[in-house]
């Protein structure tokens, strides 16, 4: 797919926009002033594959904590600021890599000017983060929500460009999928700043991942979007998992072994769900496998021989089950029969060996 040409922006060590890969973001769910817990969560998210992390900065204690958190973490850190522009100044002084301002609650020219001045001195970018839940009063109430979201961002962009500042990232999050998609399409046509995609307040993992994947997936398919966050009412690691699946499904990124499995039907004679879950769990927890997880491999786990051999041809590794045993394929070639019990362990060993072979 052809990506929209966005300006390249650097956030800490990561570049977004241009031809850079679509980056995965999340937000810490801890109190930022609780440095130990926040550091623990950020470092854990990094291991899961998070590439940019945002923290809420709601008071001076949070702003001061940014310095200590930065000293113990590696991910580019975005300070999320609402209402009080002075917190942005403190977060910049304390080492934040990017500031997010909400046009709905920080809109006075003098305050924006102060923040932009500090960003210029530190060489940091700014995210203009418009959210449907906190739109200001500047947009025409008669306009449709996508227009109001885009209008709010464009008005802010113009204010900031008048200050000769252009290191901007834009997000326009609504909780409604069609409105969010339309808003992003509008802003994508009006500017060349990188876009951070997300749907806000999507709910629990199942509903949230689905809503996000419809909105974010639609936009990414059109070439729109440079970073993504899947907002879920759950542990942030789930957000990373969902983001990786979306990017892998669109062939935009590869993160490691990708399991494809059939839905099963009356022909299946084994508990295929158990095999798939076992393998997923082993892949995510065994240290050697995390290493192997950096190698993109397609692993097909099929319930019977109807579609098994066909899928096996497309996969690096595959198994097609019969009764109590499965036929194992490597690169589309049938290798041997393996017992159902211990199948997940067998596949795990094969994944690690395939990864090692590819490294050497
Ligand atoms: S691969 Fe076999 S078991 Fe799985 S859904 Fe297809 S026919 Fe059913």
Rounded CA separation 19/167 (Å): 17
Token pair 């996000």 is at which residue? 212
Determine the pLDDT at residue 142. 65
Distance 271 CA to ligand 1 centre (A): 12
pLDDT of 290 > 60? The answer is: no
Rounded CA separation 37/116 (Å): 31
Structure tokens of 139? 């947009």
Determine the pLDDT at residue 65. 98
Q: What is the pLDDT of residues 91-126, one digit of tens each?
A: 999 999 999 999 999 999 999 999 999 999 999 999
Q: What is the pLDDT of residues 30-62, one digit of tens each?
A: 999 999 999 999 999 999 999 999 999 999 999
User: φ, ψ for residue 15 (rounded to 5)?
Assistant: -105, 140
Instruction: Quote the Cα angle for 75-219-187, to 5°.
Output: 85
**17-to-95, 169, 252 alpha-carbon distances in Å:** 23, 9, 14
Cβ-contact 239, 230 below 8 angstroms: yes
Distance 107 CA to ligand 1 centre (A): 57
Q: Provide the residue count of the chain.
A: 360
pLDDT of 141 > 90? The answer is: no
Distance 347 CA to ligand 1 centre (A): 19
pTM score > 0.85 for this model? yes
Q: What is the pLDDT of residues 122-139, one digit of tens each?
A: 999 999 999 988 786 655
Among residues 230, 225, 171, which one has the least CA distance to residue 202?
Answer: 230
Distance 308 CA to ligand 1 centre (A): 8
Residues with CB under 6 A from ligand 1: 262-265, 267-268, 302-304, 306-307
Q: Which atom of ligand 1 is nearest to the CA of 262?
A: 4
What does pLDDT average to over the chain?
A: 92
Q: Which domains does the chain have, with CATH numbers?
A: 9-249 (3.20.20.20), 257-359 (3.30.413.10)
**100-to-27, 170, 291, 313, 316 alpha-carbon distances in Å:** 12, 9, 33, 47, 42
pLDDT of 291 > 90? The answer is: no
């Amino acid at each position: 797919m052809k990506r929209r040409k966005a300006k390249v922006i650097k956030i800490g060590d990561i570049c977004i926009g241009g031809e850079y890969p679509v980056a995965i973001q999340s937000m810490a769910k801890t109190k930022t002033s609780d440095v130990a817990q926040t550091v623990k969560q950020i470092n854990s998210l990094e291991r899961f594959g998070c590439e940019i992390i945002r923290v809420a900065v709601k008071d001076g204690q949070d702003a001061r904590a940014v310095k200590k958190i930065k000293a113990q973490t590696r991910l580019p850190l975005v300070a999320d600021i609402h209402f009080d522009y002075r917190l942005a100044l403190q977060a910049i002084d304390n080492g934040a890599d990017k500031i997010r301002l909400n046009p709905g609650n920080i809109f006075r020219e003098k305050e924006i000017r102060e923040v932009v001045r500090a960003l210029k001195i530190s060489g940091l970018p700014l995210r203009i983060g418009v959210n449907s839940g906190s739109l200001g009063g500047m947009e025409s109430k008669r306009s449709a929500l996508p227009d109001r979201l885009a209008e709010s961002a464009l008005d802010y962009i113009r204010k900031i460009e008048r200050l000769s500042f252009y290191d901007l990232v834009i997000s326009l999050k609504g909780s409604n999928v069609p409105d969010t998609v339309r808003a992003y399409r509008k802003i994508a046509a009006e500017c060349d700043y990188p876009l951070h995609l997300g749907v806000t307040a999507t709910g629990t993992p199942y509903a949230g991942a689905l809503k996000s994947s419809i909105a974010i997936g639609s936009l990414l398919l059109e070439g729109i979007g440079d970073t993504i966050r899947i907002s879920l009412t759950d542990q942030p690691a789930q957000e990373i998992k969902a983001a990786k699946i979306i990017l892998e499904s669109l062939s935009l990124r590869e993160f490691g072994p990708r399991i494809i499995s059939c839905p099963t039907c009356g022909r299946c004679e084994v508990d295929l769900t158990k095999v798939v879950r076992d393998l997923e769990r082993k892949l995510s927890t065994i240290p050697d496998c995390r290493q192997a997880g950096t190698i993109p491999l397609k692993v097909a786990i099929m319930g019977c021989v109807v579609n098994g051999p066909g899928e096996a041809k497309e996969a690096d590794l595959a198994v097609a089950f019969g009764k109590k045993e499965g036929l194992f394929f490597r690169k589309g070639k049938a290798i041997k029969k393996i017992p159902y019990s211990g199948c997940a362990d067998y596949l795990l060993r094969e994944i690690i060996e395939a990864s090692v072979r590819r490294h050497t």
